Amino acid sequence: MSLGSGSFFSYELRDKLDRLRDWWRNLTIRRKINENPMLVVAVALVSLLVLAAVAIVYFWPAGPKRIEPGDQVWFYDLNTAKLFSAAGSVVAPIESPSGPLPGGKPAGVRAYVLSYAAEPTEADCFIGFLQTSDPNAGSTHPPYGASKWGHNKLIKRVEDEKWVPADSAEGRAILEAAFVPNEHGERPRYVQPG
């Protein structure tokens, strides 16, 4: 009596499935899950929390970049309309390469050079706004938080005639216009000299 190849194959398949079922039934983790169903719920909740945390970190929109003065920062010569660099610790207005303004005041004001490019060339850069100290500022204490940056500072666009307080509505409009996102939703970054 000979067994056909079809019945031998089905016998082998049934045997392997039986062994796999026995292995699954005897699996320690499966027994633990059957004995404690709350373990499954706890693992699922922890997994969901980790997934939510990763999703929040990954998809959270990047806030505006802080502009931190480095060793060297950009300044703008009001006489020549050219950029030059100086130490980040000095406060505008400062002496410029072209000398003082006609009234005798220093002609160097802080320039915020910005670019949308990750590694910008000169052609990728633009001057977002200019900044100087307010000569009429009193000795009031600076406020706290974000408004601290604009305290006792005047800003303007290169093409503007008039300086406005950085913490005024006009100043905020200039800042918002300078940092408007491009067509890809990216905000420009400060470009340091060098």
Compute CA 48 distance to the chain's CA centroid, rounded to the nearest angstrom: 26
Residues 77 and 46 in one domain: no
Same domain assignment for residues 81 and 111: yes
**Dihedral sign from CA coordinates of 113, 140, 147, 163:** negative
Residues 96 and 39 in one domain: no
Q: Are residues 112 and 82 in the same domain?
A: yes
Please tell me whether residues 97 and 145 are part of one structural domain: yes
Same domain, 51 and 78: no
Shared-domain flag, residues 48 and 101: no
Q: In whole angstroms, what is the distance from residue 114 CA to residue 179 CA? A: 9
Within a domain: 121: yes
Q: State whether 152 and 105 are in the same domain.
A: yes
**Residue 82 counted as domain residue:** yes
* Whether residue 80 is found in the same domain as residue 168: yes
Give CA–CA dist 146/72, Å, rounded.
23
The two tokens of residue 23 are: 């292995």
Joined together, the tokens standing for residue 45 give: 């909740």
The answer on 85 and 49 residing in a single domain is: no
For 114-170, the pLDDT digits (tens) are 999 989 999 999 999 999 988 876 655 555 655 566 678 899 999 999 999 988 899
pLDDT tens readout for residues 40-95: 788 889 999 999 998 888 887 766 555 554 588 999 999 999 999 999 888 889 99
Same domain flag for 31 and 83: no
Residue recorded with tokens 């806030």: 63
Query: What pLDDT score was predicted for residue 26?
Result: 72
More confident residue, 155 or 33: 155
* Domain total of the chain: 2
pLDDT bracket for residue 1 (50, 70, 90): very low
